[in-house]
Structure 1
Amino acid sequence: MEAVGRFDLVVAVMAVGIVVRILCPALREKWTDAPVVAVDSSLRSAVPVVGGHHGGNDLAYHLYEKLGAYPAVTTATDAAGRPSLEGTADRLGASVVNRSSSKEVNLAFLREDVPVLRIVGPKVVLVDEGVAVLRRRGGIVVGLGARRGVDASEVLEAVGSALVSVGRSFEEIRAIATAEIKRDEPGISEAAERLGRPVVYLDEEVLNAQSPTTESRARDLGLVGVAEPAALALSERLIMPKKAYGRVTVALGE
């Protein structure tokens, strides 16, 4: 199938069996093969055939939202409603270095909550096959704190002002990070959706392991802070300490 080598995502409107027979000679490696989703001619089902964890499942869900085609997702972690290594790496804006670890780590995700640890160098770390090593991609991490009930326009305006102050742009954002307690704030999730960037919700243990440069009223909630620790947790350094823009607080890391 020529399209597999030419496009990032492929929708094949034909039976799964036909797709399989066409694809087999073209498949090389699951981390690099283009995700392929088979859709029946009646547009009733969308079946990720190749690359479920690499964009195929997301494409199937997208087809469900746009066309109503049932997303027949079969990858074990997704079917069980559990996280995956690939999804975790994407959420953290990182790439998996030792890809051979994916099978064992994803099996572990099916059974339990696998801890995600951040190790700051210089260090030498010796790991076995059951440990996945992630390396962060480049880009800006936006650490966000917000008052209850903030809307998406306020978030976007605050982030835009922060980026302008350091001479950067929306296109350079890798991820938005905030505290787990902000998960139910629709203004944050909607702003991230408009930007096309993921939101990483960090728990208390991760935030409190950071060393922010400024005091925070979040100490009343048992946190060392929100915006700065969130930015620090997913980046190497702060490029802008936290600053309040109305009801939104922003810190930038890189």
Structure 2
Amino acid sequence: MTVRLLAFTQKGMELARRLAAELSGEAARCGEGCTLDAWTADAFANADALVYVGAAGIAVRAVAPYAGNKASDPAVVAVDECGRFAVPLLSGHLGGANRLARRIGAVCGALPVITTATDANGAFAVDEWAVRQGCCVLDVPRIKRVSAKILAGGMAVLRSPWPVAGTPPAGVAADGGAFDFELTVHSADAGALRLVPRIAVLGVGCRRGIGQQAMEEAFAALLAQSGLCAEAFYKVCSIDLKRDEPGLRAFCAAHGFAFETFSAAQLAAVEGRFSSSGFVQSVTGVDNVCERSAVLGSGGTLYCKKQAGGGVTMAAAMAPFAPDWRWQDE
């Protein structure tokens, strides 16, 4: 998490520096090389969390023009300069503001002032659980439906193809027929809140000089054929011959995918049954790039075999995923 802190007084700056050291953040003082508006605009666009060391009202007015929705807004926390209270103001669960407030409290003794309904009632927060399990939340408005059911004393049911370790929290049941939320890597919408673990790795082989648009078209074709949703992917893998391929790098950057490459020898050593091409062998030194790189990069199993078209080959593999019922930091 990229954390930026802004203080307004010398006393506040001392606390901001202390917090920055503990949170691996960056502290600044308003009026010393930055203004409130300029700092907020830049931090809101480029940081995961904004911490205002000063009055909560200042923070509220500063971020108000930039607040969009809970799915994309960064965490915003206000801490008084005496370090007595840490108040999450924006993105308490998905953005991690509640969690950050607790971390701040652990550093300086501030009391986290948590006002989200599930936290206030000691109830399970499905969106915070999703973040804790490394999932992307689709259908964000449906979070409210799940939380309301739990807060009203009902039972929210999870559907998951993966076993969830531990005991479900109060108000939650696993795999009990009709479901309210699900763990899934598929794009199909059953009307429930979808939580997508980011465990899919895209293996890519391509003709030299291929453009980003060809990559996008191949990816769209793979999603359509496999039924996977784009949000499940977190990394692209290929052979080291493609390390500096501009179209491939642009594709990764556009989607926020990590990019990892392997040598032909590393790929050839991957165990499994893969599509084989003599032409690919003659050019790269290994009989298959996309399937082997996906499996090697994921540490898991092949999910979607090689698809070819437009000078691009793609395959998908799934990393191991072992969810549990923990939803807050210990």
TM range (shorter): 0.5 to 0.7
Select the structure of larger CA radius of gyration: 2
RMSD of aligned C-alpha atoms? Answer: 3.3
User: What is the number of equivalent residue pairs in this alignment?
Assistant: 154
CA shift for structure 1 position 205: 2.9
CA shift for structure 1 position 156: 1.2
Structure 1: which amino acid aligns with 2:280?
Answer: A
Match of 1:11 among 1, 4, 26: 4
Does the CA-based 8 Å contact 1:19-1:38 persist in structure 2?
Answer: no
Structure 1: which amino acid aligns with 2:310?
Answer: G
Match of 1:224 among 278, 287, 296: 287
Question: Which sections of structure 1, spanning at least 5 residues, go unmatched?
Answer: 1-7, 44-54, 57-136
Partner of 1:149: 209
CA shift for structure 1 position 224: 3.2
- Give % identity: 23
List per-residue Cα deviations over 1:114-153 (Å, max 9, x = no partner).
xxxxxxxxxxxxxxxxxxxxxxx85110000000111111
Q: Tell me if 1:42 matches 2:42.
A: no
Q: SS of the counterpart of 2:251?
A: helix
Question: Which sections of structure 2, spanning at least 5 residues, go unmatched?
Answer: 35-47, 50-196, 319-330
State the distance in 1 between where 2:18 and 2:243 align: 44
Partner of 1:215: 276
List per-residue Cα deviations over 1:74-102 (Å, max 9, x = no partner).
xxxxxxxxxxxxxxxxxxxxxxxxxxxxx
State the distance in 1 between where 2:256 and 2:11 align: 34
CA shift for structure 1 position 14: 6.1
Match of 2:256 among 171, 174, 196: 196
Which TM-score applies when normalising by structure 2? Answer: 0.41
Structure 1: which amino acid aligns with 2:270?
Answer: Q
Q: SS of the counterpart of 1:234?
A: helix
Q: SS of the counterpart of 2:218?
A: helix
CA shift for structure 1 position 11: 2.0
Structure 1: which amino acid aligns with 2:303?
Answer: I
Structure 2: which amino acid aligns with 1:36?
Answer: G
CA shift for structure 1 position 26: 5.0
Does the CA-based 8 Å contact 2:274-2:288 persist in structure 1?
Answer: no
Q: Tell me if 1:242 matches 2:306.
A: yes
CA shift for structure 1 position 204: 2.5
List per-residue Cα deviations over 1:178-217 (Å, max 9, x = no partner).
1111012110010111111111112223212114511123
Does the CA-based 8 Å contact 2:19-2:25 persist in structure 1?
Answer: no
CA shift for structure 1 position 19: 7.8
State the distance in 2 between where 1:150 and 1:241 align: 21
CA shift for structure 1 position 38: 3.1
CA shift for structure 1 position 219: 1.1
CA shift for structure 1 position 20: 7.5
Does the CA-based 8 Å contact 1:12-1:36 persist in structure 2?
Answer: yes
Which TM-score applies when normalising by structure 1? Answer: 0.52
Q: How does 1:100-115 map to 2 (within 5 A)?
A: none
Q: How does 1:77-92 map to 2 (within 5 A)?
A: none
Q: SS of the counterpart of 1:153?
A: helix
Partner of 1:51: none
Distance 1:219 1:143, change over 3 A: same
Structure 2: which amino acid aligns with 1:180?
Answer: D
Q: SS of the counterpart of 1:232?
A: helix
